[in-house]
Structure 1
Amino acid sequence: MQLLLIRHAEPTNARAETGVADPPLTETGRLQASRLPDALSPYRITRLFSSPQLRALQTAEPVAEDRGLAVEKVEEIAEYDYGHDHYFTIDAAKDVAPEAYQRILAGHLPHFVDEDAFRTRVRQGIDRVVETCDHAETVALFVHGGVVNIVLQELLDMPRPLMFPIEYASVTRILVSRTGARRVASINETGHVRDTLRV
């Protein structure tokens, strides 16, 4: 089985007056998402899974339309900010949340995140996807930078949870053997959106 972990495209910043912040994609984000059908054309994708957060669901839309596939929501693969009243891109966090920004740059999750609980939740979500798919399938999961990183930390035995700068609309490939063993095939493929990313 092949898992394509696709980070959502560029979202807006958001702070909810009441309830949960769930920002949509920016215009640049929609452009990035629109390039995914071509970028994923070499893969015979049979199923699409997504975090329930809007930025992931909107990133999945062009692929779902292109392939004629439904998007199946998996709550466990939501980002570590799921359910919070604010969301800031890393660029915005530099000014509005400098402590969290410095922690992320150092490879750590923000203080408000229970790292063990987040890791357990993501593992359960990935396991559920693997268990419900056939071994021969290639499936796409529309997720988040923290989710991709926590998966890579476990597979590569990395010392900190945020070791890779996973870019918007990037593709990371995980191979799952018949025995259930998993290995990393590629990380952060961005050729299809390189010109849209901020240096």
Structure 2
Amino acid sequence: MQLLLIRHAQPEYARVNLGRADPSLTEQGLVQAGRLVEALAPYRIARLFSSPQLRALQTAQPLADRQKLPVEQIKGLAEYDYDLDHYIPFETAKELGSDAYKRILAGHLPDFVDAELFRTRVLTSVDQVVSSCAHEETAVIVAHGGVINIVLQDLLGLELPLTFPIEYASVTRILVSRTGRRRVASINETGHVRDTLRV
């Protein structure tokens, strides 16, 4: 089977007084999400999975509409910031020069994250997707930069959890053999949204 790992499109900055922040996409993000429809048109997509976070669900929706597929939410595919009362887009964090930004840039998870717990729930959730799909199927997972990086760290045997700067609405392809062996076919394909991304 084939897994297409999609990072959500560009989200808004968000901060709330109570509960957790769950930002929607920006206007640019909605454009990026729309472009995924044509970018993924060559694939015969059988299943569509998503993180429960709004930015991922909104990214998945145009594809779901075109493919006439339900969006199957899996909480374990949520980003490590799921319970925070704020969301700061990476480009804004860079401008602020935050400690979290510096850690992420160096390839490390923010210090508030239980790295092993995050890794375990992400890999368990991806296993759940693979086991629920037929071998000949192509499945899409719309998730987050941290989630995709954890999958790549596991498959490539990387030391750092955040090695790759996964771009908004990018496509990373994973191939799964009949024996269950997984290999990385591509990382961070962005041709369909290159003009919408910051350099």
TM-score w.r.t. structure 2 length? 0.98
Which whole-Å CA distance do the structure 1 matches of 2:140 and 2:94 have between them? 31
Superposition deviation, residue 91 in structure 1: 1.5
* CA RMSD, Structure 1 to Structure 2 (Å): 0.8
Q: Does 1:8 align with 2:8?
A: yes
Which whole-Å CA distance do the structure 1 matches of 2:197 and 2:127 have between them? 31
Partner residue, 1:76: 76
Superposition deviation, residue 155 in structure 1: 0.5
1:64-103 matches, cutoff 5 A: 64-96=64-96, 98-103=98-103
Q: Does 1:117 align with 2:127?
A: no
Superposition deviation, residue 134 in structure 1: 0.5
Partner residue, 2:159: 159
Secondary structure of 1:174's aligned partner = strand
Q: Does 1:179 align with 2:176?
A: no
Which whole-Å CA distance do the structure 1 matches of 2:55 and 2:133 have between them? 24
Letter in 1 for 2:36: L
Q: Does 1:145 align with 2:141?
A: no
Structure 2 unmatched runs, 5+: none
Q: Does 1:41 align with 2:41?
A: yes
Letter in 2 for 1:90: F
Secondary structure of 2:29's aligned partner = helix
Secondary structure of 1:185's aligned partner = strand
Letter in 2 for 1:115: A
Aligned length: 199
Partner residue, 1:20: 20
Q: Deviations over 1:25-77 (max 9, x none)?
A: 00000000000110001100001000000000000010000011110001111
Superposition deviation, residue 94 in structure 1: 2.6
Which whole-Å CA distance do the structure 1 matches of 2:83 and 2:159 have between them? 27
Which whole-Å CA distance do the structure 2 matches of 1:98 and 1:71 have between them? 34
- Among all aligned residue pairs of Structure 1 and Structure 2, give the percentage whose two residues are the same amino acid: 66
Letter in 2 for 1:45: I
TM-score w.r.t. structure 1 length? 0.98
Superposition deviation, residue 159 in structure 1: 1.1
Letter in 1 for 2:179: T
Secondary structure of 1:35's aligned partner = helix
Q: Deviations over 1:156-188 (max 9, x none)?
A: 111100100000000000011111111000000
